[in-house]
Amino acid sequence: MSTNHIIEFAGLDVYQDDNLVLSDVNLNVSKGEFLYLIGKVGSGKTSLIKIINAELDAKKATKAEVAGFNLLTLKSNQIPLLRRTLGVVFQDFKLLPDRSVHDNLQFVLKATSWKDKVKIERRIKDVLEMVDLFTKAYKKPHQLSGGEQQRVAIARALLNNPQLIVADEPTGNLDPETSETIMRLLFDINKVAGITIVMATHNHGLIKKFPTMTIKCENGSICEVAANAEIELDIE
């Protein structure tokens, strides 16, 4: 893998179950880059994200590497190691509803082999400050707004100092104003912390307001879209 790239795909075929959804994917994502993945439902963008975080197998490719891991030879016991270099943000937050914000984050740290209580508390404080939610640490998810819940999910993604954050429709359940707040937060994290972000989205308005490198999944392949181009998202 190039020292400048965190994702390198060459000749990658992407399958959902036994269906080929993208063929001959060639994609290099540089460290510190912010990348949109767009395309209509079923075009393969979510499947491509699942390849990146090893939810789906990379069955056929000339090269498929993420954060220094070769997906073509990745063993099952290496998948947790790969995922610790990644942060994942979902559309529906996926917080544990019966636990406070603090305990949601503590659960992840303990599950990823953090043992020192002082370091755990310090890391929770750090990530909550990064998303401006330190005063909400002992609220339960249902006591937070949707935007606050998504900020908790972003804090969770930051816990293990990831090289890469993968976000699948992170603004899909949010109103336009809150969506912009989340986008500003993600771009700040990208700029200040230098974390690469790959984000699947349907939101044309956000793409226009926060332009960056954009890859479109369409007709079984991918292509780069110019930042100032009119984008047809063809939502279905």
**What is the chain's pLDDT, residue by residue, as a tens digit (236 residues)?**
567 999 999 999 999 888 999 999 999 999 999 999 999 988 999 999 999 999 999 989 999 999 999 999 999 999 999 999 999 999 999 999 999 999 999 999 999 999 999 999 999 999 999 999 999 999 999 999 999 999 999 999 999 999 999 999 999 999 999 999 999 999 999 999 999 999 999 898 999 999 999 999 999 999 998 765 555 544 43
Q: Is 100 helix (H, G, I), strand (E, B) or coil?
A: coil
Alpha helices (H) along 99-218: 101-111, 117-130, 146-158, 176-188, 204-209
202 part of a folded domain: yes
> Structurally, how many domains does the chain consist of?
1
Residue-number span of the structural domain to which 96 is assigned: 32-54+84-225
Kindly report the CATH number assigned to the domain that includes residue 131: 3.40.50.300
pLDDT digits (tens, 9 = 90+) for 173-222: 999 999 999 999 999 999 999 999 999 998 989 999 999 999 999 999 99
Q: How far apart are CA 169 and CA 87, in angstroms?
A: 14
| Position 63 in a domain | no
Q: Is residue 23 part of a domain?
A: no
pLDDT of residue 235: 41
CA distances from 33 to 88, 165, 194, 198 (A): 16, 11, 8, 8
Kindly state whether residue 107 falls inside one of the protein's structural domains.
yes
β 164-168/34-38 pair status: unpaired
- Element spanning 46, H or E: helix 45-52
Q: Tell me if 15 sits within 8 A of 43, measured CB to CB.
A: no
State how far the Cα of 220 lies from the Cα of 218, in Å rounded to an integer: 5
Q: Has residue 74 been placed in a domain? A: no
